[in-house]
Amino acid sequence: MVAAVATLGLAACSSTDSSTGTETSAKPAGGQFETGDKAPVKEEGVEPVATPAPNLPKPTAEELNARLNKALAGLLTGDEKKTYIEDADKDPMLVDKFVDAAKKNNVKAAITNVPDAKDGKIRAGADVTIDGSPVKDAFVDFVADGDSWKVSHTFACNIVKSAKLDSAACQA
């Protein structure tokens, strides 16, 4: 029986060319890698095209304060959560963790200066306090996304991490 199986196994790897009567061996798919005959060919691709940032009008400090403070206070509806903080769609709990962390550390923020946007981003000057202590040279980053300015995930993650919380959106 073992001899029969071995014969069938060998027969599966060879065949006879009926036109010449010679026996040939079947090569496994991708034989060039099996035999080492040829080096793999480097595939060339097209550079990914960067999506341009939305061209949103420059927001006022009052507009950014309203968005930021509504988020910090935990007053966002389920639909608003994804529109207030960048990458909130990567972790549905990011906004809730942001709110919990802000409350745990008594974070207060007030936007004081809104420079012109650059590449769809604004680094707004802010008065920020954590547990009553002012943060020197504080700022809050905002990003243009869709039709609104969102609190950057970097700022949100810094607040979340300051309370020793974790979020999938904050992983490196």
pLDDT score for 45 = 63
Tell me what the mean pLDDT of segment 152-160 comes to: 92
The dihedral through the CA atoms of 100, 104, 110, 113 has a sign that is: negative
Evaluate whether residue 95 is within a structural domain: yes
To which H or E segment does residue 139 belong? Answer: strand 139-145
C-alpha distance from residue 86 to each of 6, 46, 67, 94, 131 (Å): 62, 28, 13, 10, 25
Which amino acid belongs to residue 14?
A: S
The domain in which residue 155 lies consists of 61-170
Dist. CA 102–CA 136, nearest whole Å: 18
Please write the tens of the pLDDT for every residue from 61-87.
999 999 999 999 999 998 898 899 998
- Determine how β-strand 14-16 pairs with β-strand 23-25: antiparallel
Residue type at 149? W
3-state DSSP assignment of residue 147: coil
Which band of pLDDT confidence, cut at 50, 70 and 90, is reported for residue 10? Answer: very low
In a domain, 56, yes or no: no
Q: What is the mean pLDDT of residues 128-136?
A: 93
Task: Establish if 108 belongs to a structural domain.
Answer: yes
Domain count, the chain: 1
pLDDT in tens, 12-60: 444 455 555 555 555 555 555 555 555 555 666 666 656 666 789 999 9
**Residue 49 located in a structural domain:** no
139 near 123, Cβ under 8 Å?
yes
In a domain? residue 114: yes
Tell me the average pLDDT of the chain.
Answer: 79
Q: Evaluate if pTM is beyond 0.85.
A: no
CATH number at residue 161: 3.10.450
